[in-house]
Amino acid sequence: MYSFFDTHTHLDYLQQFTGEPLAQLMQNAQIAGVQKILIVAVLQRDFKIIEKMTALYPQQLYYGLGLHPLYIKEHQAQDLDLLEQALATRSPNCTAVAEIGLERAVPELLTDELWRKQCDFFEAQLHLAKKHDLPVNMHSRKSHDQLFSFLKRIEVPKRGAVHGFAGSYDQAKRFVDLGYSIGVGGTITYERANKTRQTIAKLPLDALLLETDSPDMPVFGFQGQPNRPERVQQVFKVLCELRRETPEMIAETIWQNSLRKFA
């Protein structure tokens, strides 16, 4: 049985959504070989909940604190101060500034004012990652070129990952050349996602991470259901079909890469 690290989840939201005990969610994941899970925040009010969840399973759970661009209307300037305080007093299991990034697929978040606010919050959080020597785990929807220009300008020593990547090979390769990993999730389980599948097939294996984005980004065959960490197995299976390496090599390389990044 292979060991998997689900490097991007909202396990707190999955638990709220399904009402299942955390112990049950963890058991389901472990049966599928998911040994480690990163939980990422989207709002400042999530921070304490995620910290408490992680403390219950310190060998399996890690967490990232950050302010997600989809909620840019709700974020206040003081949330950045509270994020800084939380990072300054973080536990060893806080291994990322996440989920941060840029969102250009929602028209109402692209007014001049809100786009500027997105950029300001993203930049501030990149500087926090730099200051606290943490990697970042990033949301990028229709914003790869803009995201890249920030990462090129602001060097985050620990780098990090572009999560749930759905873009061209050239866009992915630019991130990889900067030292960032590419999060591979449910998108590749859909045959129509040809561009993303071809991209993931060609990238260097040691640049890839596995993720579910639970409860979002459902894998093929489970549409309309909340996504779960154990479905990393399905993503892995499709990845093995797309790649030339053996399943053993794919699993081991991605496991080691994930540990280096987020454990």
Binding site per annotation, positions for a divalent metal cation: 8, 10, 99, 139, 163, 213
Asked if 231 and 220 count as a contact pair (C-beta separation under 8 A), the reply is no
Q: Which residues are annotated as a binding site?
A: 8, 10, 99, 139, 163, 213
Identify each DSSP E strand in the chain by its residue range.
4-9, 34-40, 61-65, 94-103, 136-141, 160-162, 181-184, 208-210
Mention every residue, 6+ apart, whose C-beta is less than 8 A from residue 111: none
Helix axes 194-202, 169-177, angle to 10 degrees: 40
Q: 């994930």: which residue's tokens?
A: 258
Strand order in the sheet with 181-184: 4-9, 34-40, 61-65, 94-103, 136-141, 160-162, 181-184, 208-210
Q: 């300008």: which residue's tokens?
A: 153
Which H or E element spans position 177? helix 169-177
Token pair listed for 8: 């991007």
3-class secondary structure per residue, 184-204: ECHHHHCCCCHHHHHHHHHCC
- Rounded to whole angstroms, the Cα distance separating 229 from 206 reads 21
- Rounded to whole angstroms, the Cα distance separating 25 from 28 reads 5
- Rounded to whole angstroms, the Cα distance separating 234 from 197 reads 14
